[in-house]
Every structure is written in C-alpha cells, then in structure tokens.
Amino acid sequence: MSTGLDAQVVVIGAGPAGSATAVHLARAGVDVVLLEKDAFPRDKVCGDGLTPRGVHQLLRMGVDITAPGWRRNRGVHVHCDGREIEVDWPDTGRYPDFGLTRSRHDFDELLARHAETTGARLRTRTKATAPLTDAAGRVVGVSATSADGEPVEYRAAIVVASDGVSARSALATGWPRDTRTPIATAARRYYRTDAFHDDDRLHLWADVSRAGDDAALPGYGWLFPLADGRINLGLGGVPHHRHGATDLRATFQQWVTRLPRQWKLEESAAESPLRSAALPMGLNRRPQYRDGLLVVGDSAGMVSPWSGEGIAQAMEAGEIAAGAVTLALTRPPGARREQALRHYPTEVDRRWRTHYRLGNLVAEQVFARYGYRPLLNPAVMGSKMTTRLLARLFAHLRS
C-alpha cells in the first residue's frame, strides 16, 4: 500500500463547503489536499440558487462573478393563492443587493478549480473510505481509494469532513446527528423555456398542494431561471408525522400541469429527469469540532430551516473553519491548538445559533404542519414592510 501524500490539512469532499475551506486555507499558505470522489463536472441535485449571503462568500473567495455563466436576480417573486408580490433583496451595505444562479454542474467544478488555482491539491476520483485514528481516537488522516483504484492514505494534522448529507466521515468516527433537527426532502428538474429570458427574480410558490390528499405541501415550490436558457423547477418540504411522507414525484407532476400554459413546461421541454435528495437542517452536529475532525456544510446539517438554503452556509462555514485551522497550525499539538480549533464551533454559534434555533422551531411547528401559506396571508402579502422583513429573515440578511 502506498503511504500517499502528507499534508497539513485534508479536506474530504469538494462541494461548496470543501472547496471554500480549501480556498481559504490555501490563501493563508496552508498545505491542503482536497479529496473528491467524483470527476468534474458532475451533477448535484440542487435548486442552484444563491441569495446575497452566498454571493458575498463568492466575492470573499475572489470568484469572478462577472464571467459568463452567472445569472443575477434582484429578489423574489412570491406566488400564493392567486396573489403575487415582488420583493427586492435588501440593500444593507453589508451584503450585495443581488443573488445569483448557476447550475451545480458548473458551479462545483468552478469552485474546486478555484481552490486548485489558489494552491490546494485537488484529487478527484479519490474516495475517502475511512478516517485514520491514533490510539487515543483522534483523527489523524484518512484512507482512500485513488483514481486508479489503489488504496492510499493521507495523514494530516487536521481533517475537515465536508462530504455532504451522507456525513460518512463523521459517522465512521461514531458521531451521529442530532435527530431533533429537521431533514427536508426536495426534488428538481430542468426545463428549457424562453418564458423567463428577461426575468430577474427567483420565483417561489407557497400554495403547492400535495398529490393524493390535496393538503398543503409542507414546504414550497421554486422556479429559478439560469443563464443558459434553462430553468430549475423544484419543490420540497419537511416531513411531519401529522401528514406522513409526501410523494414528491406525484406532487411535482400535478403542480407542473397547473402552472401557466404559456410557460410551455411540457414534457418535450424537460432536459433532465426529476431527481430528489435530502436537506439536513438546523445544525445537526454540534459542536462542529471534535478529536481532530471539523464538520462543515451538509455534513454538519447546516441547511437553513427557514429557506432550505445550504450553499451560502457551507461556504461561510468553510471560511470560519479555515480561519480556526490556520491559527491552530501556528500552535504545537496540544491544549492550545485544541483551543484554536474549538473556536470554529464557537464562531458558528455566535453567528447562527439564534437564527437556527428559532428556524428549527418554526420549521417543526409551522412549515412541517401547514407549509408556508400561513406566513403569506393577504395581510402579510399586502404590506411591503412585512414582506421585506420576511425576505431578510429567510435569507438571514441582517444589516
């Protein structure tokens, strides 16, 4: 067996969380290896939407968002029971006043290559198979299967697990998720239509009905226009014991047929199958550091329980994690290094804890039971001030 390459830090998974972590580490001069099991480009089931908080993270990484392939949006267009409102992203001075869309097929490769250009050593088609631990149970590296199918080991001072919703690395160290936090499921499909070519908003529906019983979907539907003339159409929700699991496929089919005919979302316009995946919400692994292993992004359940947004959170947490790791590496192994690493969960808590706590409660008590409809009643939708406040709350955009 090859002993592989040693590095100061090994990052498992080159989604937004892993690539962002690697960018910030490499920029700080840290020797980092970024392992990705797939080859790029690859698909990832997602809505492909970024709020201003996500755009802010791209800017902080030096990603060129003026290059072709990005599509800007200035806010959301909300549909509910025949009422429609348009809400602009707030102009806070702290975040950009626009969002972006880009298919994850492109986005993830772009970010991973950016990490590589910044100095990270990207190893695609390299699948982490198990964490390496020392006698005390501390994670000291990872064993993997290399692109040519050979077993390989990467030993490192610190390991970052950003392997997505499967969270295999954390689970392999005996680190379960907090089952009290919500997990949503969502499905999306691409269509080609020219109906949205000059539309600069993300569309959201709070009035989707479930197939079968016509109860309210415990979530929402979306339509996000992309730069390449396609749209990403999807829906999702939080399961609840009150109404059981939603048949997402049947609900999607029923919903599409009810959308305006002039949008031409017929079968012949579809450019992909309908695909679904889970969204781990509400900070389901806390604190996000233990025994040499940091968890970032979906592997730490960082999807917002308010909105289902997880890309911005994954990238932001990657930046926080990289900061803590960079400081830790200036210290010798031992108590002071541990203190620096523990700053990662402390900072995540400081920024997000209140927002997620409240979000978990609202997701459980409102969204999972009744969907988003109660929040978008005529009184709310008739008030510009209230809808602006809601947009700020859902996208976590404090001034």
Ligand X SMILES: Cc1cc2nc3c(=O)[nH]c(=O)nc-3n(C[C@H](O)[C@H](O)[C@H](O)COP(=O)(O)OP(=O)(O)OC[C@H]3O[C@@H](n4cnc5c(N)ncnc54)[C@H](O)[C@@H]3O)c2cc1C
Q: Judged by CB under 6 A, which of 12, 115, 321, 341 binds ligand X?
A: 12
Region of residue 221 (phi > 0: left; psi between -120 and 50: alpha; otherwise: beta)? beta
Q: Judged by CB under 6 A, which of 71, 102, 127, 337 binds ligand X?
A: 127
Q: Judged by CB under 6 A, which of 14, 58, 217, 391 binds ligand X?
A: 14
- Tell me phi and psi for residue 341, to 5 degrees: -70, -35
Q: Does 49 bind ligand X (CB under 6 A)?
A: yes
Q: Judged by CB under 6 A, which of 4, 13, 221, 225 binds ligand X?
A: 13
Q: Judged by CB under 6 A, which of 17, 25, 390, 395 binds ligand X?
A: 17
Site for ligand X (CB under 6 A): how many residues? 40
Torsion on CA atoms 293, 296, 299, 305, rounded to nearest 10? 140
Pattern 136-165, binding to ligand X, x per CB under 6 A? --------------------------xxx-
Q: Judged by CB under 6 A, which of 22, 24, 33, 37 binds ligand X?
A: 37
Nearer to ligand X by Cβ, of 44 and 201: the residue is 44
C-alpha span between 224 and 47 (Å, rounded): 7
Write out the DSSP string of 38-84. Answer: SPSS----S--EE-HHHHHHHHHHT--TTSTT-EEE-EEEEEETTEE
Give the nearest distance from C-beta 40 to ligand X in angstroms. Answer: 9
Q: Does 186 bind ligand X (CB under 6 A)?
A: yes
Site for ligand X in 273-312 (CB under 6 A): 277, 279, 297-298, 303, 308-312
C-alpha span between 166 and 138 (Å, rounded): 21
Helical H segments across the chain, by residue range: 16-27, 52-61, 104-118, 168-172, 248-258, 311-328, 335-362, 368-370, 378-381, 384-394
Give the nearest distance from C-beta 166 to ligand X in angstroms. Answer: 6
Place of tokens 């390459």: 5
Q: Does 322 bind ligand X (CB under 6 A)?
A: no
Site for ligand X in 357-386 (CB under 6 A): none
Q: Does 48 bind ligand X (CB under 6 A)?
A: yes
Other residues' Cβ atoms within 10 Å of the Cβ of residue 394: 20
Write out the DSSP string of 194-216. Answer: STTTT--EEEEES-PBPTTT-PB
For binding to ligand X (CB under 6 A), which residues are involved? 12-18, 35-38, 44-49, 127-128, 162-164, 166, 168, 186-188, 234, 236, 277, 279, 297-298, 303, 308-312, 314
